[in-house]
Structure 1
Amino acid sequence: MGLGPRSAHKARRQFSGAGRRGRAARGSGRPPPGRDGCPQLPAAARAEQAPEALPHLSPEALGYFRRALSALKVAPDAAEERELMARNILKEVEAQALALATNRTGSEMLQELLGFSPLKPLCRVWIALRPNLRFVACHRCGVHVLQSALLQLPRLLRSPAEADEEEEGEDGPSQTLEELVLGLAAEVCDDFLFFCGDTHGSFVVRTLLQVLGGTLLESERVKPRGSQSSETQRTSARECKPTDFEVPKTFLNRLQDLSACFLKDIAVFITDKISSFCLQVALQVLHHKLPQHCAHLCDAVIDYLSSRNSSAGGSPLLLFLRDQTSSRLLEQVLLVLEPERLQRLFKNHFQGQLYSLAEHPIANFPLQRLLDAVTSPELLSLVFEELSPALEAVLARGHPGVVVALVEACRRVGAHQAQVLQLLFEAFHCAEPPSRQVACVPLFASLLAYEVYYELMEEEGAVPAEHQVEMASARPLREVTVLGSLLLQHLLYFSNPGLVLRSLSALTGPQLLTLAQSPAGSHVFDAILTSPSVTHKQRRRVLKTLKGQYVALACSRHGSRVFDAIWSGAALGARKEIAAELGEQNQELIQDPFGHHVARNVALTTFLKRRQAWEQQQNSVAKRRRALNSILGD
């Protein structure tokens, strides 16, 4: 299978690329973003000029709006009073809207003000910006103001009758919010290539597509300042749940017009990095709101790529799967394709090429999305048959995300679970002798082969040594990787997670504590506590190892979250034992920034001073929980 168990790679059995799942993860192999080689948009479309006299925002005006915003934030919670303040401030904004939008500090304040704005004041600000809308949309500060205005629509889109009644007697703006949005969409549609190809303008297009479709995508939401690290944002696209809201039918009609614009210049949207992002968002929105239009766009992308010059290895699509820009688009296509189209695409372009894709630094990501999209046992069997012999080789190439995606597909579809677990044992060198299988959890969590984890020096071709329990117990648990944690979580949701649970039960108290205190490892406990495949008896067997570790667990940032989850599901007898253990170090607990929250949730003071009252309280909580569970169960 792939690399033999005693191959030349033995000395480097740490499976690299064990960082976070995503293109920007350390060791992922995905090259940094760039536009080299991308076709350029027409020069005329890039020759946008700023207004002749860009208004200047004086320090006095900036100070006024800063003070006004601060006063608005601390205003009484009464809706009418706060709304009146917002109207008065936004009335002043109208005269200086362009100056505020194009000033870095002013733009940030205006974005916050729009979050408080009622319907008609927002329309007036929009109308004030409309003569320079094209410039604002492509300005590095102004673009965020337009995005913020668009993102107010879920809050403000109500029936005209309600809006009129709410603001009766006030001079209304010359256009409604619906008309303003449609006007912006018409302007974007008229010069679609320019807006989509502009670094800043593309953000407006992407937000506009979501608003027209009544779908806000989690992956496209405006991030707070200072939270732009890839570490917190590499969520699988399949896991990003959209937020839907009602929109007028005219919005969906305009969305159809914009989707047709992609078809006119499909080559640009496939190969230009900035423009491609717009098409990716369009596919997600259309998938939720207009599936037929989404399928039409997917067919256009696949047909275009399939019509290029064939590669020496087979389908011309393979060339684009290895390209920085088009591979990202193909990832999204794979996630929104209907099952029948997905299976046809696999047979026409992917079949027979999975290993070469899995080992490629770019193409392994579209392969992961293919695995994420698999829902039928038939397609999973075809993929599994081709990938299963190469799991160790894929890990050695530093692409554990492919293996995790395959395991997740086996969990989701409910097939090939025993086989993939056995293959993982072989890839991590803990299949033979059988005594090594009890060490699988530390190996999977750290993504290290047995010899590397335990620092063994075995000769080529030598018989693998038996597992030494004493040696394993004395060794601290190594760092838990994000992908290793995901791998364990999926395995715990298998129909028979017995071997993994046996390995968890073999961990010592300090080792299990290290797992619970780890940012990634703490989520393994979520799977232990919630998986329907884990019985109460198996759960208790794992958790009893934590006896004597509960104070350290409660005084940890991530461990305290695990403690809360354990406490929530514990019976009264187990709660008494845990509370008694915490009570022995009550002072240490209440002085800890995390521990004092645990002490409060456990009602530790009541437990120590009024035991009978504490038991009555816990019994009441247990009865309410059982009643709620019975209702939810019905």
Structure 2
Amino acid sequence: MVLWQLWVRMVAVGSKALPLRRTKDHTVVETCRLFGEDVGVFRQGRSRNMRRKADGRRGNSDGSYQSKGSHGSESDGAFKDKKYQKKQDFSEDAETSYIRQQIDAETVKYFSEIANVLESGEVELEERPVVCGNALEESRGKEMELATDHIISHTMQTLLDGCDADHLCGFLRSCAKDFGRIAIDRCGSHVAETALNSLSSHLQDEDYYNLIKDTLTLLCQEIVRKPVVVMCNCHGSHVIRSLLCLCKGVPLDSEFHSAKSSTVLSRRLNLYSDKEHKNETLIVHQGFPDLLEFVVSEMLKCNATDIAALQVDQYSSLVLQTALKLLAGQEQELLRIIPVILGCNVENADQSYFIETTEVQNIRDLVKESAFSHLMEVILEVAPDTLYDEIFMKIFKGSLYDISCHHYANFAVQALISYARNQDQVGAICEELGPRMRDLLKMGRAGVVASLIAASQRHHACEHKCSKELAAAVIIANEDPNCIVPRFLLLDNYLFSKDKANWSWTSGCRVHVMGSLILQSLFKYPSDCIQPYITSITSMDSSHVLEALKDSSGARVIEAFLGSKAPEKQKKKLISKLKGHFGELALHPSGSFTVEKCFNASDVPLREVIVSDMLGVQKELSKTRQGPLLLRNLDVDGFSRQPEQWRSRQKSKLTVYKDFLAEFVEEESVSWEKKNPPTTDLSKKATQQTNIKKMRQEIDTVLASFTSSDSSKKNKKQKKSGKEQGDNDVEQKPSADKKKRKHRQKDDLSKSSQKKLKS
């Protein structure tokens, strides 16, 4: 037992002394090639390719790579041998080596003590900037060595995060000439990003604006001296993206670094409004727009070999994507840099065309590369209309199906469809891809089909044709159309079944995500375009509807149908299939949203059925996360206490809402359609739909306040009189004053709603 305690004490002492230990990094002089392929891993002295995971690519003798089984592989081989060479030294300066100096023992001890003092919490909050600033003064002339040390670099991050703006800018100006080397180092990149984050926080004080601008100018000038090396490095790429975000004035951890795929997909399929997207990317400070344009333009002043390397490198692709997103809306700047990224001659940018005919096939081959495919998606998103039209006509039109067949290039086609500018472009795409929907689904390219359906709905182009071709993709001639929706819900299960003619619903299968998204977009079509789908979904068995609702993707489809322009009778038919199961659905995490959608789409008798089912699980539901809100929105407690008053309130809500729609919304929508065809400005219609939703919420809120005030007054009268029969007479026959007050408040609501809609 004594030996065990002694051993534990020795371990504890050793762990405290660990920060004072020095590793082999301080005793060995390290050599790194700043502008070579293997930057960022020079401590180990081995190529990063030595430990590269197998990615399905075959290495050629010249160092290039060729994907296995890529579409159009016959022409790809010669193309890659010629253009996709492994990045070698980009200039004569690449042969020069940098000798990393040894850190002396006193400096090691000093920064170890500083780290211990800061971690111990002995320094007061007011004194911390002074301590950090003094420590940074001691690093003068040794910034490169300290920032790239794998232990002291953590201390440097703490100091840069806690110092004032003067010492921070002084540190960056002192190491500006080595900033490129620091950025491509595994440890140094974290130090560089911490410094940029700290600069962003100090920009909240306008007094430091000019000081920070001068510091950033020095850093930018160093970065663009040899930009290809930093851009193609996994650590340097992240530092440059943070630098670009800082120059723009957006948060350094914003989606400009790399947007989530789910966010991009939602926006493309009309599930994510542009207004919400703009609110997410608020500018936190005024930024440095001139520096941003300077960095981007200087980064692309490369020779043809360097541009070819940037096009296919995954890290440089991320940098260029960030730059394009930050420059979105600046048409002249985009018209200048996008042709360069595509590999075209920049001199043609002043002429009537931007893309050279000789580069068309080259770009088509590049789109089949993973890195360039992602880059092309962003190009299509931000490209000005004239350039987008030229890219569409020269590169994609006539080859849409062939490009869609490729496992990387199909994402560029999805972006092309999603960012189409007008009805003519959507019509041309539909003519080419519409008859091939069945082949695309079989090939696993459901994303292309979903993008086409969403674009058709957004621009109101070829909706009948798209609906018809989509139905033909999952049913054969003379087949019952009632199976369309079930087959899309279980799309993979249907496509991989051997006997498709006798396919039936398979219990236990998960709803196909892309099939769900396709149906959600489709139910936004006009009702006359989706009659087979309406018939199909209302003909599903109750058990199948219930099973679909227990899957989040399936629930979204049912909710989309309930919010569609389908006849009310058909919606009620589907809701009636769920009688006796609403309580079960409400207890499901995602089912509560569907229950509320069903409630809003029902008449009073159906609403009573839904609430009656909820009474049986009211106690269990109140303990769940989503339950209390659902119980309050459906007024389950009010129904259990006073059913007749609850029915009266629900009837009043439905009446007022229908009158409101008939009097204002339909009039406004008709006049809007006459004045604004679908090709002009679709954002206005989206805004109108948002206003309608707000108006409905306002009606519900106002009516709820009426009923609550009335009920409170009735309760007071009951306490005073104590006569139940008299109170019932008051409830059945409201006074003339109360009727006038209700009508006056209703008129006020209508007037305010009308003003909002007209504005």
- Residue 271 (1) aligns with residue 312 (2): yes
Matched letter for residue 580 of structure 1: S
- Residue 502 (1) aligns with residue 540 (2): no
Distance 1:95 1:543, change over 3 A: farther
- Of 508, 526, 545, the residue aligned with 2:577 is 545
Q: Which residue of 2 aligns with 1:171?
A: none
**TM-score, with length taken from structure 2:** 0.61
Tell me by how many angstroms 1:66 deviates: 5.9
CA distance in structure 2 between the partners assigned to 1:358 and 1:420 by the alignment: 17
Higher mean C-alpha displacement, 585-594 vs 603-612: 603-612
Secondary structure at the aligned position of 2:332 is classed as helix
Any conservation in 2 of the 1:583–1:604 contact (CA below 8 Å)? yes
CA distance in structure 1 between the partners assigned to 2:154 and 2:603 by the alignment: 54
Distance 1:48 1:542, change over 3 A: farther
CA distance in structure 2 between the partners assigned to 1:353 and 1:429 by the alignment: 26
- Of 295, 319, 340, the residue aligned with 2:335 is 295
Tell me by how many angstroms 1:414 deviates: 0.9
Which residues of 2 match residues 447-466 of structure 1 at below 5 A? Answer: 447-448=491-492, 456=499
- Residue 425 (1) aligns with residue 425 (2): no
Which residues of 2 match residues 130-145 of structure 1 at below 5 A? Answer: 131-132=174-175, 133-144=179-190
Matched letter for residue 219 of structure 1: E
Matched letter for residue 196 of structure 1: M
Which residues of 2 match residues 40-119 of structure 1 at below 5 A? Answer: 40-42=88-90, 44=93, 52-53=102-103, 85=125, 88-94=127-133
Matched letter for residue 491 of structure 2: L
Tell me by how many angstroms 1:307 deviates: 6.1
Matched letter for residue 457 of structure 2: R
Distance 1:518 1:136, change over 3 A: farther
Q: Identify unmatched segments of 5+ residues in structure 2.
A: 1-68, 74-82, 137-142, 346-354, 654-696, 704-748
Matched letter for residue 524 of structure 2: Y
Summarize deviations over 1:464-512 as a string: whole Å, max 9, x none: x7x9xxx76xx53732122111101110111233332332222333322
- Residue 385 (1) aligns with residue 431 (2): yes
Any conservation in 1 of the 2:160–2:168 contact (CA below 8 Å)? no
Secondary structure at the aligned position of 2:189 is classed as helix
CA distance in structure 2 between the partners assigned to 1:232 and 1:90 by the alignment: 41
Tell me by how many angstroms 1:354 deviates: 1.6
- Of 585, 588, 591, the residue aligned with 2:617 is 585
CA distance in structure 2 between the partners assigned to 1:603 and 1:583 by the alignment: 11
Any conservation in 2 of the 1:407–1:490 contact (CA below 8 Å)? yes
Any conservation in 2 of the 1:102–1:136 contact (CA below 8 Å)? no
Q: Which residue of 1 aligns with 2:555?
A: 522
Q: Which residue of 2 aligns with 1:409?
A: 455
Summarize deviations over 1:36-67 as a string: whole Å, max 9, x none: 84424538559566564297698886676567
Which residues of 2 match residues 556-595 of structure 1 at below 5 A? Answer: 556-564=588-596, 566=598, 575-592=607-624, 595=627
Which residues of 2 match residues 308-387 of structure 1 at below 5 A? Answer: 315-387=361-433
Any conservation in 2 of the 1:95–1:128 contact (CA below 8 Å)? no
CA distance in structure 2 between the partners assigned to 1:264 and 1:93 by the alignment: 39
In our comparison, the structure showing a higher alpha carbon Rg is: 2
Q: Which residue of 2 aligns with 1:245?
A: 283
Tell me by how many angstroms 1:128 deviates: 4.1
CA distance in structure 2 between the partners assigned to 1:572 and 1:123 by the alignment: 69
Secondary structure at the aligned position of 2:164 is classed as helix
Tell me by how many angstroms 1:384 deviates: 1.7
CA distance in structure 1 between the partners assigned to 2:263 and 2:154 by the alignment: 24
Any conservation in 1 of the 2:84–2:312 contact (CA below 8 Å)? no
Q: Which residue of 2 aligns with 1:13?
A: none
CA distance in structure 2 between the partners assigned to 1:237 and 1:304 by the alignment: 30
Any conservation in 1 of the 2:368–2:408 contact (CA below 8 Å)? yes
CA distance in structure 1 between the partners assigned to 2:605 and 2:202 by the alignment: 52
- Residue 481 (1) aligns with residue 512 (2): yes
Tell me by how many angstroms 1:247 deviates: 4.9
- Of 260, 264, 280, the residue aligned with 2:297 is 260
Q: How many residues align?
A: 550
Q: Which residue of 1 aligns with 2:724?
A: none
CA distance in structure 2 between the partners assigned to 1:153 and 1:37 by the alignment: 38
* Higher RCO structure (Cα 8 Å, ≥6 apart): 1
Summarize deviations over 1:495-554 as a string: whole Å, max 9, x none: 2333323322223333223323323333324533545x3455544443333332222222
Secondary structure at the aligned position of 2:591 is classed as helix
Tell me by how many angstroms 1:303 deviates: 4.9
Any conservation in 2 of the 1:492–1:527 contact (CA below 8 Å)? yes
Q: Which residue of 2 aligns with 1:14?
A: none
CA distance in structure 1 between the partners assigned to 2:447 and 2:597 by the alignment: 28
CA distance in structure 1 between the partners assigned to 2:121 and 2:435 by the alignment: 65
Any conservation in 2 of the 1:45–1:194 contact (CA below 8 Å)? no
Higher mean C-alpha displacement, 562-571 vs 327-336: 562-571
Any conservation in 1 of the 2:571–2:601 contact (CA below 8 Å)? no
Tell me by how many angstroms 1:200 deviates: 0.8
Higher mean C-alpha displacement, 49-58 vs 264-273: 49-58
Q: Which residue of 2 aligns with 1:172?
A: none
Any conservation in 2 of the 1:352–1:386 contact (CA below 8 Å)? yes
Distance 1:492 1:41, change over 3 A: farther
CA distance in structure 2 between the partners assigned to 1:412 and 1:560 by the alignment: 29
Q: Identify unmatched segments of 5+ residues in structure 1.
A: 1-26, 72-83, 165-174, 224-229, 459-464
- Of 569, 586, 593, the residue aligned with 1:554 is 586
Any conservation in 1 of the 2:373–2:409 contact (CA below 8 Å)? yes
Any conservation in 1 of the 2:132–2:159 contact (CA below 8 Å)? no
Matched letter for residue 507 of structure 2: P
Higher mean C-alpha displacement, 133-142 vs 374-383: 133-142
Tell me by how many angstroms 1:357 deviates: 0.9
CA distance in structure 1 between the partners assigned to 2:491 and 2:626 by the alignment: 30
Q: Percent identity?
A: 22
CA distance in structure 1 between the partners assigned to 2:454 and 2:339 by the alignment: 27
Distance 1:95 1:158, change over 3 A: closer
Summarize deviations over 1:152-206 as a string: whole Å, max 9, x none: 7776544636x89xxxxxxxxxx73444434433332333223222211111211
- Residue 212 (1) aligns with residue 276 (2): no
Distance 1:593 1:104, change over 3 A: farther
Any conservation in 1 of the 2:249–2:284 contact (CA below 8 Å)? yes
Matched letter for residue 521 of structure 2: H
Distance 1:56 1:510, change over 3 A: farther
- Of 310, 321, 324, the residue aligned with 1:283 is 324
CA distance in structure 2 between the partners assigned to 1:286 and 1:271 by the alignment: 21
Any conservation in 1 of the 2:367–2:412 contact (CA below 8 Å)? yes
Matched letter for residue 295 of structure 2: L
Higher mean C-alpha displacement, 331-340 vs 197-206: 331-340
CA distance in structure 1 between the partners assigned to 2:483 and 2:584 by the alignment: 24
Distance 1:59 1:89, change over 3 A: same
Distance 1:222 1:307, change over 3 A: closer
**TM-score, with length taken from structure 1:** 0.72
Higher mean C-alpha displacement, 45-54 vs 391-400: 45-54
Higher mean C-alpha displacement, 619-628 vs 488-497: 619-628
CA distance in structure 2 between the partners assigned to 1:534 and 1:90 by the alignment: 64
Any conservation in 2 of the 1:355–1:387 contact (CA below 8 Å)? yes
Any conservation in 2 of the 1:94–1:128 contact (CA below 8 Å)? no
